[in-house]
Structure 1
């Protein structure tokens, strides 16, 4: 592809300046209209918030300011026209023409976008509005913790009994409980249930839990009327705190069964219960 000639480059530059001039004129005109409307809205609100004499006083101040601004503007316009007509400001006109041409040339490119208007200062929310917005925002809902669901020791024992043949491997246990093998391994370790290589029906040997080594599940605490081995217990049905120090029994587990001692007489036992 050959390089453009000087005439072609000048024609392209002139077209680009023409397009950019149109864009700049529309952009500056729009800014002027929006600025005028914004000032008019503020002045109207300033007058509207007053009543009676105060309102008429503000109207009079505005009329006086408008008359003064008109007189000053006319005087400045006549003085500038005289300076331009006399040729005293030729260098200022040349500088303005060059600045406009440069800006129009930049605005004539295909990807040009007008500069957005700055946000007005009074549009920023104050402290009360920010607080109201914070109150209107819905509170975040509590989310369930990520990760597999917990498994209780009782549920693990029940799962081994349900799917064990009689032993149960970790992977089938995890699928049955809807969790992971690491959770199953952790719960078993907390119960003192060793993980060993076991076999299940239709599966090869893998890590799992033996059905004949099921530990006793942790109890929620002794129920009323139940006495653990080696623990004292009352021998009556009243639960008052005024019982004497010798009231109650003590149960001791032996190889032959359970021996019940009367605490009122440590040398006498009530009987032996065979296991």
Structure 2
């Protein structure tokens, strides 16, 4: 796209100044009308709050002030006209014209917005402002339910669930992405659960997948049991000779991993018959 020529730029600038001049004239005229209306309202309220002689005295003061302002205004206007006609104020006129052109050029842009005018604080609005200040503030208890909102993000992964997931989908190791899909959570939650267990995340391989971050099955730590489980003997503890397990024994959930010299022994706590498997390191 070629740059605009000087004639095109001047034509665009003149159009922008014309649009800006219209906007400035409307804005300044509106401000003047609003100011006059505000002063008229105040004067009317000032006269209306009086009675009898005081009221007529105030009316006389207003008439006298209007006559004096008219005389002063006419005198100043004639003096300014004579100065302008004689050419004594040509520098002032040039400065005012340049200032107006600059302001009109800035007001001619597409995103121009007039400066907001604050609402006049007259006597009639005093009651409304007092009513606004007397409105009770909302109680603090309304904001309390926002503190009790549930925390965002997936729930944490328990150590037992993580060991069981690695056992179920591992070949024998399991990567973080399939683990997160199996547990219906995110890889960050899986990584956080492994970090809490002291299970190091390393590059591992799975069947049909390339090497990626995951957990090695032979490095699985033993999650702390929720309570004593009959039939499961910890390291250094005497074995129970009672072999009277029955089907009425309450089933438990999760698994327990015990590391031995021959490999890892996985106990399925949900199986009342205590079947177990051995994974060689």
Q: Which residue of 1 aligns with 2:111?
A: 111
Q: Which residue of 1 aligns with 2:34?
A: 34
Superposed counterparts of 1:55-134, under 5 Å: 55-120=55-120, 132-133=134-135
Shift of 1:95: 0.7
Structure 1 47/7 Cα, relative in aligned 2: closer, same or farther at 3 Å? same
Q: Could you list the runs of 5+ residues in structure 2 that have no partner in the other structure? A: 151-224, 230-248, 257-268, 270-281
Superposed counterparts of 1:217-232, under 5 Å: none
Structure 1 41/124 Cα, relative in aligned 2: closer, same or farther at 3 Å? closer
TM-score by length of structure 2 reads 0.50
Q: CA RMSD in A?
A: 3.2
Deviations 1:59-96 (A, max 9, x none): 11011000000000000000000111111111111111
CA contact (8 A) 1:197 1:205 kept: no
Matched, 1:201 2:251: yes
Matched, 1:19 2:19: yes
Q: Could you list the runs of 5+ residues in structure 1 that have no partner in the other structure? A: 149-193, 209-275
Distance in 1, matches of 2:2 and 2:99, equals 32
TM-score by length of structure 1 reads 0.51
Larger radius of gyration: 1
Structure 1 125/109 Cα, relative in aligned 2: closer, same or farther at 3 Å? farther
CA contact (8 A) 1:48 1:55 kept: yes
Distance in 1, matches of 2:87 and 2:149, equals 83
Shift of 1:118: 3.4
Distance in 1, matches of 2:119 and 2:130, equals 20
Deviations 1:186-212 (A, max 9, x none): xxxxxxxx9515584374468x9xxxx
Structure 1 127/83 Cα, relative in aligned 2: closer, same or farther at 3 Å? closer
What is the count of residue pairs matched by the alignment? 160
Deviations 1:24-71 (A, max 9, x none): 000000000000000000111111111111111111101100000000
Structure 1 41/126 Cα, relative in aligned 2: closer, same or farther at 3 Å? closer
